[in-house]
Amino acid sequence: MDKYVIKGGRRLEGSVRIQTAKNSVLPILAACVLTDGKVTLSDVPDITDVANMTAILSSLGCSIVYEGGSAVIDSSSAHTFEIPSALAHGLRSSVFLLGSIVSRFHRAKIAYPGGCDIGLRPVDLHLSGLKRLGVNISESGGYIICECERLRGNEIMLDCPSVGATENIMLASVRAEGTTVIENAAREPEIVDLQKFLNVLGARVRGAGTGTIVIEGVNKLGGGSFRPMADRIEAGTFLIAAAMCGGEVVLEGVGGENLSSLLHKLRENGCKLRVKNDKIYIRSDRRPLSVKSVETQPYPGFPTDLQAQMTALCTICSGNSIVTENLFETRFKYVPELKKMGADITVVDRSAFVRGVERLHGAVTAAHDLRGGAALVIAALAAEGDSQVVGITHIDRGYSGFEYKLSALGADIRRVGV
């Protein structure tokens, strides 16, 4: 149960290399169950969500070996189709394995997933999609049980563009008989990355990044090497930290194409931004201006995973802002914590009304989820005086070496065992 001890008020200066994307790596790891070929994934981030996913793969009988910065996954010896609750509860993305496992074994038994407590997060779209591919689904004792004779391609219309459901259906259908068409598919860049990865293994998937994805089933997938895309949410978190603390920071290994909605807002804040090749430069020299209104939306709209960090920034802008969360129900749990630091925020339904104050002050705060925790850290970095953030296991789920990267930029942040 570690905590961060932070002395606020330092400008951030220097460069930081962006990790590969958690939300890309997790479904790609799930996809490895689909093949007997060896898969080499480079630069897999050292985060607990990945550790939990690889623990689940090991429990299924897959072998995962780290060679340098790469993970080599060999699923040829996978023999189990069950994920017990002790493993599934650590990771919401364990639900992606439904599609992969049912494709491989024609049955699956998976405990209901865990993950961030940011609202109901149902899996009805995942299950109805699998049903359309011919899977019989029942639920018993906290387990989802899937069985089928064979998987058959079909047309699937999603009621809303769920990222996880789109990915799960892609995984279930790549080796199905015939063609699957997913309509109203999510368009997130991580879905494009999953398509690229599956096609490296020999799948025939097209259309990712648009609302219609077409998957022509193939009999068999092979092995291959892949480097997942850069983590746009980690990148966004560092950009917002720089905007909030002031300074000059270069993000390396990430382009601006997947971050347009944030870059647009940061320019409204008065930050100077430049994108060149795979680098993003940000300079922030004065108190940020208010952005008036931010609304989370499916991609390419403003990402819900940057909502908490953006609200933290709004707390010190000159002027008022309204931040509206349209995707998840309880994604303002960090707000009472920010208020301990002097933030002036009122939450009404799905909107946070933020009145900018000149400066936050240090406080002891508690992270309740991954992105809310990151928001508390960057608020503490910008605040006057000393802060502590407890509950940082949530942050470890998605940020590799967060405190090292921030320290390298000049922040005064230490991890302390409690």
Is residue 30 within the footprint of ligand UD1 (CB under 6 A)? no
Q: Which residues inside 301-320 make contact with ligand UD1, applying CB under 6 A?
A: 304-305
Out of 12, 26, 205, 376, the only residue in the binding site for ligand UD1 (CB under 6 A) is 26
Secondary structure letter of residue 55 according to DSSP: H
Is residue 116 flagged as an active site residue?
yes
Residues 238-267: x/- map of binding to ligand UD1 (CB under 6 A)?
------------------------------
Is residue 139 within the footprint of ligand UD1 (CB under 6 A)? no
Residue 239: what residue type? L
Closest separation in Å from C-beta 145 to ligand UD1? 17
Which phi-psi region, left, alpha or beta, contains residue 207 (left: φ > 0; alpha: ψ -120 to 50)? left
Tokens (6 digits) for 35: 């093949």
- Measured CA to CA, the distance from residue 199 to residue 251 in angstroms comes to 29
Phi and psi, residue 363, nearest 5°: -165, 170
Is residue 285 within the footprint of ligand UD1 (CB under 6 A)? no
Secondary structure letter of residue 417 according to DSSP: E
Q: Which is nearer to ligand UD1, 29 or 376 (CB)?
A: 29
Its sign, for the CA torsion 118, 12, 283, 19, is negative
Q: What is the largest CA-CA distance in the chain?
A: 64
Is residue 126 within the footprint of ligand UD1 (CB under 6 A)? yes
- Judge contact between 244 and 382, C-beta under 8 A: yes
Instruction: Using alpha carbons, select from 289, 311, 293 the residue that is nearest to residue 301.
Output: 293
Closest separation in Å from C-beta 23 to ligand UD1? 3
Residue 383: what residue type? A
* 406: Cβ contacts below 8 Å, ≥ 6 apart: 12, 241, 377, 381, 413
Q: Which is nearer to ligand UD1, 327 or 383 (CB)?
A: 327
Is residue 187 within the footprint of ligand UD1 (CB under 6 A)? no
Is residue 123 within the footprint of ligand UD1 (CB under 6 A)? yes
Q: What are the E-state strand segments in 196-296?
A: 204-206, 212-216, 224-226, 247-252, 272-276, 279-284, 292-295
Is residue 328 within the footprint of ligand UD1 (CB under 6 A)? yes
Closest separation in Å from C-beta 328 to ligand UD1? 6
Out of 23, 100, 309, 400, the only residue in the binding site for ligand UD1 (CB under 6 A) is 23
Q: Which is nearer to ligand UD1, 308 or 360 (CB)?
A: 308
Closest separation in Å from C-beta 10 to ligand UD1? 29
Q: Which is nearer to ligand UD1, 37 or 211 (CB)?
A: 211
Catalytic: which of 116, 148, 271, 314?
116
Q: Which residue in the block uniquely carries the two structure tokens 């349209």? A: 326
Is residue 343 within the footprint of ligand UD1 (CB under 6 A)? no
Span from 122-130, 172-180, 200-208, 405-413 in contact with ligand UD1 (CB under 6 A): 122-130
* DSSP element (H, E) containing 41: strand 38-42
- Measured CA to CA, the distance from residue 167 to residue 125 in angstroms comes to 11
Which phi-psi region, left, alpha or beta, contains residue 225 (left: φ > 0; alpha: ψ -120 to 50)? beta
Phi and psi, residue 23, nearest 5°: -75, -5
Out of 102, 201, 245, 327, the only residue in the binding site for ligand UD1 (CB under 6 A) is 327
Is residue 29 within the footprint of ligand UD1 (CB under 6 A)? no
In degrees, rounded to 5, the angle at the alpha carbon of residue 345 between the alpha carbons of residues 339 and 350 is 120
Span from 59-67, 132-140, 163-171, 342-350 in contact with ligand UD1 (CB under 6 A): 163-171
Span from 52-60, 121-129, 317-325, 380-388 in contact with ligand UD1 (CB under 6 A): 121-129
Q: Which residue of this chain has its Cβ atom nearest to ligand UD1 in the complex? A: 164
Q: Which is nearer to ligand UD1, 58 or 326 (CB)?
A: 326
* 332: Cβ contacts below 8 Å, ≥ 6 apart: 311, 325, 347, 352
Upstream peptide bond of 300 is cis (omega within 30 degrees of 0): yes
Is residue 93 within the footprint of ligand UD1 (CB under 6 A)? yes
Is residue 334 within the footprint of ligand UD1 (CB under 6 A)? no
Binding residues for ligand UD1, total number by CB under 6 A: 20
Q: Which is nearer to ligand UD1, 259 or 409 (CB)?
A: 259
Residues that bind ligand UD1 (CB under 6 A): 23, 26, 93, 120-126, 160, 162-165, 186, 304-305, 327-328
Q: Which residues are catalytic?
A: 116
